Structure formats: structure tokens, C-alpha cells
Amino acid sequence: MSAKKMLLIIVGLFAGLFLLLVGCLLMVRLAVTYGEHDRADNAPGVGLVEVKGMIVDSREPIRQLRYFLKKDNVKAVVLRIDSPGGVVGPAQEIYEEVKRLAARKKVVVSMGSLAASGGYYIAAPATEIFANPGTITASIGVLIKFSNIEGLLDKIGITSTTIKTGAFKGAGSPDRPLTAADRAMFQSVINNTHEQFVRAVAEGRKLPVAEVRRIADGRILSGEQAKALHLVDRLGNLQDAIDEAGRLAGISGEPEVIHPPKKKVNYLDLLATGAEETFSNTVGKAVGRGLQVVYE
């Protein structure tokens, strides 16, 4: 076989694979598009927003909450939470969005197996909170984690030099220990952020600040214990929360559950993001994460 024929065969194979990939992506996109419109747009119902896993990015929950805020046929929203907590900033952003929605429509939280720390934070401003008796919740507290690899660097013969503009710039760096002044500075940040958490829970649950502060020592509670302390309103599962949301919204019978439209996917961005996350995770495991204040 000539080189020219071989080249044509190879080009043909690559072209075929490319067309197959494009066809698959189009089919997925069409399935998503048609799936978004498979119900009567004006039928009244209860919206469902799910927050699962670590809270590190608020954009998708906020997008869904705002979507339901604007939909007249969505009479109430159920926020299903299965989260151990996460980064402070995103949790506070979701809290504010739940608070904004609850001022206009009824918001009922359904806690799954875990709704602790930041997971509880975003639940606090809801109209009503359901938990299972064995749900792990509360854990009202804040922390910052640091890693120190100074000894490892010494063993492999790596030294580092930092040029900085102030005494606290570079505090928490993994290549040097914390000083007493560093610890005091970080503790003041933690104390202030913890107080924000306490005030947010007190406001959302309509409880005295002193009462919340008394149990805001990082302790976890079962759903049953949280109910006794007024951190949870009722014991029940997701369907109980949906039924209650329908009742609060004045919907007769079993309410229809309305899911938010799926987020449009840019596959090129997805590939780029995947590569970036893989690189970041590899580096993060090697040298420790950047500074993050977390509800955990």
C-alpha cells in the first residue's frame, strides 16, 4: 500500500471519529434541551434545589435559587442539603440568596444524612427546616488548616526565600512555622468569622444570640437533638418537606416537583477546567492548599 493511500485512510479514520464525537455531543445537548421542556411551564408546583458535597462554589445553587424566584408557577422551594460544610465565602453567598428567596416565597429545607457547619449555615434562613432523626447537623464553628513541610524540604535539600512587604505577609506559608503573632492574627479572623456564623444562625432561626453562642462550639448534633434546641423545626424526610412546602404555598393535593433547567455545558471549557483542576489538585496535595477559612 502506498504512503498516499495510508495517509488517506488515517485522515478518514480521524474524520470519522470527529464526526462521531460531534454527533454524540449534539445528541446529549438535544436530550438536555428537550428534557427541560417536558412539562407544562405554567403548572404550579414546588421547586427543588440540591446542595451536595463540600461547598466550594456558590454559582450553581444561586443560579437555581434565582431561577425559581423568577418563576411565577413555582410557589415554594425545597432546599435539599447533603453537605459537611465548606468555604466561608460561598456558604455566605448561598445563605443570602436563600434569605432573599424566603422573603418572597416559602423555602423548606430537607436535611439528608449530613447538613453540618456550612451545610447548616445555608439552611438557617429557610422558612422551615426538616431533618431526619439521625441527620448529623449543627457543628457551628470555623477553622483554618495549615500544613508545614519545612522538615521535608530540609531533607531533600530545598531552601526558599521570601521577600515581603509586611510582618504578616506570607503568614501560614508551608515552608515556615507560625509565629505567636501569626497565631494571634489568624485567631482574630477565626473569632470574627465565627461571630458572623452565630449572628446568621440567630437571625435565621429567630433565636437569642446568647442561646446560639452557647452551643456554637463546633459540636455535632443529631436531627433529634437539633430539634430540641430549636435548630430544626420538624423531623421528616424529603417527601415530608415537599408536602409541607406545597401546603405552605396553598397547593392542593400532592405538589408537582419542578427541577431547575440543566446548566448549559461548554465542552471546550469543561476540558480546560478538567485539566486545570487536575493540575491544581496535584500541586495542592504536594505543597498544601492556599489559605481557606472553612465551615467544617
pLDDT at position 31 over 60: no
Which fold would CATH assign to domain 40-295?
A: 2-enoyl-CoA Hydratase; Chain A, domain 1 (3.90.226)
**pLDDT for residue 213 is more than 80:** yes
- The pTM of this model reads 0.77
Residue 117 designated active-site: yes
Catalytic residue among 58, 110, 117, 139: 117
Q: Indicate the pLDDT class of residue 176, thresholds 50, 70 and 90.
A: confident
Average pLDDT, the chain: 83
Which of 95, 84, 215 lies closest to 137 in space, CA to CA? 84
Crossing angle between the packed helical segments 180-205 and 88-102, to the nearest 10 degrees: 20
Of 137, 135, 105, which Cα lies nearest the Cα of 238? 135
Give the span between the Cα atoms of 123 and 107, in whole angstroms. 9
Which residues sit opposite 86 in a β-bridge?
55, 295
Instruction: Give dist(CA 131, CA 119) in Å, integer.
Output: 12
User: How far lies 224's CA from each of 78, 112, 119, 131, 233, in Å?
Assistant: 20, 13, 17, 8, 10
Q: What is the distance between the alpha carbons of residues 181 and 259, in angstroms, rounded to a whole number?
A: 50
Write the pLDDT tens digit of every residue in 271-294: 555 555 544 444 344 434 445 566
Residue 99 falls in the annotated catalytic set: no
Of 52, 145, 164, 169, catalytic: 169
* Centroid of chain to Cα 277: 17
**Helix, strand or coil, per DSSP, at residue 195:** helix
